């Protein structure tokens, strides 16, 4: 077979196939990793911005809608290592992360309380209709314990505070679960990198 014929056969073999999306996904993933690394490096070199950025990341990670778009957990884990490597004070950064997480969940609760089930139609939550269903299941089964542990359950972190608001959970009970889980979550995100770097660095 001549090269020209081989090229014709090759072209025909792939005609009509859907485009390979794996390459596009890998490209987006590499871009995300690049800007995450850039942000961590920025905080390492411009430490004065550390507290407000950590607060904003934790707030976005805990706020419904934003947490579906912002991969803040990975960045906060990495920042724990920055804290240890640069010998930064742990407790102010922990307080910033905890405050952002608590405020983000409180705002999510308020949105659910205010707008009820209509909130499910708002983008990007509208693209993940199963989240509210799973959140409601968790809330009905475990109540305040479900609100507490929902912060540690990945994607459900965005849904549980909304569901608690939609279900008209008493605000005091919600805040007890919110504050307690926020304090523990912030320590769990930051402490392994911070103290691990100091012990093994």
Q: Is 142 exposed, middle or buried (0-12, 13-18, 19+ CB in 10 A)?
A: middle
The pLDDT > 90 percentage for the chain reads 29
Lowest model confidence (mean pLDDT) among 11-15, 32-36, 169-173: 11-15
Q: Which residue range forms the structural domain that includes residue 113?
A: 23-200
Q: How many independent structural domains does the chain possess?
A: 1
**1 located within any domain:** no
Per-residue confidence (pLDDT) for residue 201, from 0 to 100 = 44
Residue 109 in any domain: the answer is yes
Q: Is residue 18 part of a domain?
A: no
Band (199; pLDDT cuts 50, 70, 90)? very low
pTM: 0.73
Could you tell me if residue 181 is inside a domain?
Answer: yes
Specify if 56 maps to a domain: yes
Is 6 within the bounds of a domain?
no
Q: Which of 42-51, 60-69, 125-134, 144-153 has the lowest mean pLDDT?
A: 42-51
Of these ranges, 5-19, 21-35, 140-154, the one predicted with the greatest mean pLDDT is: 140-154
Residue whose structure tokens are 């909304």 = 162
Please, which pLDDT band fits residue 15 given cuts at 50, 70 and 90?
Answer: very low
Q: Are the beta carbons of 186 and 94 closer than 8 angstroms?
A: yes
Structural domain includes residue 97: yes
Mean pLDDT of 64-75: 74
- 180-185-186 Cα angle (round to 5): 105
DSSP label of 17: P
Q: How confident is the model at residue 179 (pLDDT cuts 50, 70, 90)?
A: very high
Angle at 26 between CA 73 and CA 33, to 5 degrees: 35
Look up residue 199 and give its two tokens: 């012990």
144 assigned to some structural domain: yes
The more confidently predicted of residues 190 and 177 is: 177
**Looking at residue 83, what is its pLDDT?**
73
Q: What are phi and psi for residue 187, nearest 5 degrees?
A: -65, -40
Q: pLDDT tens, 108-130?
A: 999 999 988 888 777 777 787 78
Q: What is the pLDDT of residue 69?
A: 74
Q: Does the pLDDT of residue 28 top 50, yes or no?
A: no
pLDDT digits (tens, 9 = 90+) for 133-159: 888 889 889 999 999 999 998 778 878
Q: In 171-183, which positions are buried (b, 16+ CB within 10 angstroms) versus exposed (e)?
A: eeebbebbbebbb
């Amino acid at each position: 077979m001549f090269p020209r014929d081989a090229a014709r056969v090759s072209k025909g073999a792939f005609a009509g196939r859907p485009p390979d999306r794996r390459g596009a996904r890998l490209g987006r993933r590499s871009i995300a990793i690049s800007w995450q690394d850039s942000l961590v490096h920025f905080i390492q070199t411009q430490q004065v911005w550390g507290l407000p950025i950590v607060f904003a990341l934790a707030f976005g990670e805990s706020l419904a809608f934003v947490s579906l778009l912002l991969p803040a957990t990975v960045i906060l884990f990495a920042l724990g290592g920055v804290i240890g490597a640069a010998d930064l004070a742990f407790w102010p950064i922990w307080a910033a992360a905890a405050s952002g997480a608590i405020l983000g969940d409180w705002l999510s609760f308020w949105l659910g309380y205010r707008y009820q089930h209509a909130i499910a139609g708002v983008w990007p939550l509208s693209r993940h209709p199963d989240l509210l269903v799973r959140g409601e299941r968790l809330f009905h089964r475990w109540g305040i314990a479900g609100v507490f542990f929902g912060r540690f359950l990945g994607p459900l972190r965005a849904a549980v505070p909304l569901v608690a608001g939609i279900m008209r959970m008493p605000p005091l009970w919600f805040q007890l679960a919110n504050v307690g889980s926020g304090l523990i979550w912030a320590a769990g995100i930051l402490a392994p990198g911070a103290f691990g770097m100091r012990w093994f660095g």
